[in-house]
């Protein structure tokens, strides 16, 4: 069996050519044509009625065209390795024996109906090895964790606005800048501690709210801990994660240019209104049930016990 990260088409081609089972690992949410969820990118809600279906069809065609700029090269490599060409780059995902989505079914829209080769296997909740250790700041005020991207997204300004917002609230703030933003680039008020790194899974045991760019890892860890989220999405899959947070009532979604005052109001709201905590805890219970067993390992073990015929030879 061969297991590859999402978009590693070379490994898939080699597996197909040798008749070896292949699985993609996907560490975030994903949309599929006809799966009952909107195309990824804009952070849309599920389509309703004829106009919604037209919207999704148009966006899916646009997405396919963007990926198909590499179709000729992909098929050239497929032919060189004795594998039949594909009609679209995105068809590669349909050809995988398994596509394992490492996210929570409870986090998805209720309408989500993925293709037969897709399995939702639950999120991975462990911290990265570089997370280090952490000591809770002194005091009894609610702890608010700020976790933005661990890679550079030109987000120093929004990180500063988030830090400033916490200075206007009766909270203990912990801001983790990650490797992309220097700690000394952030001007912090007295009730906010700024560090480069901290083990979020440990911090979340003490946290009352999380303020984040809505990367999948931070969002799903927060919800798994039953902590409501204020999402300030910056790009990538973050608008779609933020849309799901708002859909499930487990937090609020703001625009990336939200002022410090708007951020402070949102944080205060998720702290003061119990429905956000209740909905986050509801999702936490579902995630705990999903991760009680390692479904990803179970799927891979089952796949490894099955063989497949070699791919059709290109003509």
- The residue with tokens 């197909």 is 16
My answer on whether 36 and 176 are in the same domain is no
pLDDT digits (tens, 9 = 90+) for 26-83: 999 988 888 888 988 889 888 888 988 899 899 989 988 989 999 999 999 999 999 9
Q: Using CB atoms within 10 A of its CB, is residue 274 exposed (0-12), middle (13-18) or buried (19+)? A: exposed
pTM of the entire predicted model = 0.90
Domain count, the chain: 2
Q: Are both 282 and 300 inside the same structural domain?
A: no
Residues 11 and 116 grouped into a single domain: yes
Within this chain, do residues 76 and 223 fall inside the same structural domain, yes or no? no
Report the distance separating Cα 97 and Cα 23, nearest Å.
6
Q: What domain range includes position 190?
A: 129-290
Query: CA 218, 219, 220, 221: dihedral to nearest 10 degrees?
Result: 50
Which tens digits make up the pLDDT trace of 103-151? 999 999 999 999 999 999 999 999 888 888 888 888 999 999 999 877 7
CATH of the domain at 206: 3.40.50.2000
Query: Of the candidates 220, 180, 227, which has an alpha carbon nearest to the alpha carbon of residue 204?
Result: 227
Q: Which two tokens stand for residue 143?
A: 């702890």
Kindly state whether residues 34 and 178 are assigned to the same domain: no
C-alpha to C-alpha distances, 161 to 261, 271, 305, 308, nearest whole angstrom? 9, 19, 52, 54
Task: Mark whether 259 and 117 lie in a shared domain.
Answer: no
Residue in the structure block whose two tokens are 């798994």: 224
């Amino acid at each position: 069996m061969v297991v590859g990260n999402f978009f590693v088409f070379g490994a898939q081609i080699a597996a197909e050519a040798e008749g070896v089972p292949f699985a993609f690992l996907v560490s975030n949410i994903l949309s599929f044509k006809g799966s009952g969820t909107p195309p990824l990118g804009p952070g849309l809600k599920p389509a309703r009625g004829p106009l919604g279906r037209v919207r999704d069809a148009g966006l899916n065609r646009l997405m396919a065209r963007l990926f198909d700029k590499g179709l000729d090269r992909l098929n050239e490599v497929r032919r060189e390795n004795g594998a039949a060409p594909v009609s679209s780059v995105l068809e590669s995902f349909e050809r995988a024996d398994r596509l394992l989505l490492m996210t929570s079914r409870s986090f998805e829209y209720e309408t989500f109906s993925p293709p037969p080769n897709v399995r939702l296997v639950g999120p991975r909740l462990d911290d990265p090895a570089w997370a280090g250790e952490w000591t809770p700041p002194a005091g009894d005020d609610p702890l608010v964790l700020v976790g933005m991207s661990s890679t550079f997204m030109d987000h120093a300004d929004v990180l500063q606005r988030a830090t400033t917002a916490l200075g206007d609230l009766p909270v203990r703030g912990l801001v983790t800048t990650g490797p992309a933003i220097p700690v000394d680039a952030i001007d912090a008020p007295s009730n906010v501690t700024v560090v480069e790194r901290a083990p979020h899974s440990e911090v979340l045991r003490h946290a009352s709210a999380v303020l984040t760019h809505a990367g999948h890892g931070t969002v799903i860890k927060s919800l798994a801990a039953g902590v409501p989220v204020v999402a300030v999405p910056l790009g990538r899959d973050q608008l779609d994660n933020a849309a799901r947070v708002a859909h499930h009532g487990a937090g609020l979604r703001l625009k990336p240019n939200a002022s410090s005052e708007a951020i402070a109001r949102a944080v205060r709201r998720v702290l003061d209104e119990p429905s956000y905590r209740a909905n986050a805890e509801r999702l936490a219970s579902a995630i705990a049930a999903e991760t009680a067993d390692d479904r990803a390992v179970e799927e891979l073990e089952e796949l490894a016990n099955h063989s497949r015929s070699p791919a059709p030879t290109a003509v």
